[in-house]
Amino acid sequence: MNNNYMVTAQDVVDMLGVSKGHAYKIIRQLNKELEDSGYIVVSGKIPRAYWDKKFYGYQSGVTTA
């Protein structure tokens, strides 16, 4: 996994241990959510901040005291 702004299908495979086809299915679902909310999406990729929010319940770069 790299520390780029976008998460790719290969990143999802590495993080979740799923097949590449299933990783693309997850990314399509998340991209649809973003698109329905009015955001521009890139096919096959998802912003890391959105990934962190959906899978870990927090936003990247936000610290709590």
Q: What are the structural domain ranges in the chain? A: 6-55
pLDDT of 56: 83
Q: How far apart are CA 4 and CA 42, in angstroms?
A: 14
pLDDT of 36: 97
Comparing C-alpha atoms, which of 6, 18, 16, 3 is closest to residue 46? 6
Instruction: Note the pLDDT tens digit of each residue in 4-62.
Output: 899 999 999 999 999 999 999 999 999 999 999 999 999 999 999 999 999 888 765 65
The packing angle between helices 20-36 and 9-16, to 10°, is 120
